[in-house]
């Protein structure tokens, strides 16, 4: 995600300057000449789905632009959430699980960006997330998403050996978690008590023998 941010901000700058007529003065002369072509200007002026202007944000300087502008930001949150779950191992130790739960806030951060950035930049992020989900499936399968959506078909990454390794990891985590409470380590006197009892018994037998 972090490596994609520079590209994402580059797309944001491109959409911001190309779609905003008041910002086109900062473009090069060649680009402005290209935008002067009626066919190109018509292409940039065509709304997405007939209602969404790619140069506008859901919440712009003039306030809320309408319910259709919520489609792409909501999709960006859902797709990033799915991608995060698929990138998370299906079985985790407690430390990894806590770290992954902290990372779950990232989709909401990008959702906030989606509500305030131009729709063209959010569209780029949504399409990139779709490609990321497909790539993640062929890389690691469903990941921990299968823990929540039980109807998902088994993926090739979750083989018998992976299931065995997962059971071993679960057992090891359970042992580590319950070691302090379930296993009581003997103290010093518990170890020394049999020795002292043997010594007392030996002295008693010696006195009885000499008496």
- Of 58, 67, 35, 74, the closest CA to residue 119 belongs to 58
SS3 for 5-36 is HHHHHHHHHHHHHHHCHHHHHHCCHHHHHHHC
How large is the C-alpha radius of gyration of the chain? 32
- Residue 156 C-beta-side C-alpha neighbours within 13 Å: 4
pLDDT in tens, the chain (211 residues): 677 778 888 888 888 878 876 777 778 888 888 888 888 878 877 888 888 888 888 887 778 888 899 999 999 999 988 988 888 877 766 777 777 777 777 788 877 888 888 898 899 989 999 999 999 888 888 888 888 888 787 765 555 445 555 666 666 766 666 654 444 555 556 655 665 655 555 545 555 555 5
Domain boundaries, the chain: 5-154, 172-210
């Amino acid at each position: 995600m972090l490596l994609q941010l520079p590209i994402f901000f580059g797309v944001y700058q491109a959409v911001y300057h190309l779609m905003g007529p008041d910002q086109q003065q900062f473009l090069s002369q060649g680009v402005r000449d290209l935008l002067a072509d009626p066919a190109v200007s018509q292409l940039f002026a065509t709304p997405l789905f007939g209602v969404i202007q790619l140069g506008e944000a859901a919440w712009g300087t003039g306030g809320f632009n309408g319910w259709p502008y919520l489609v792409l930001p909501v999709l960006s949150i859902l797709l990033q959430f799915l991608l995060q779950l698929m990138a998370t191992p299906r079985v985790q130790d407690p430390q990894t699980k806590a770290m992954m739960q902290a990372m779950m806030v990232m989709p909401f951060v990008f959702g906030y960006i989606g509500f305030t950035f131009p729709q063209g930049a959010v569209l780029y992020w949504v399409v990139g997330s779709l490609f990321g989900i497909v790539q993640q499936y062929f890389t690691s399968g469903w990941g921990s998403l299968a823990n929540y959506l039980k109807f998902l078909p088994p993926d090739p990454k979750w083989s018998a050996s992976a299931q065995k390794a997962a059971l071993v990891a679960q057992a090891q985590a359970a042992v580590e978690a319950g070691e302090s409470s379930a296993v009581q380590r003997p103290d010093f006197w518990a170890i020394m008590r049999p020795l002292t009892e043997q010594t007392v018994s030996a002295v008693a037998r010696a006195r009885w023998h000499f008496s």
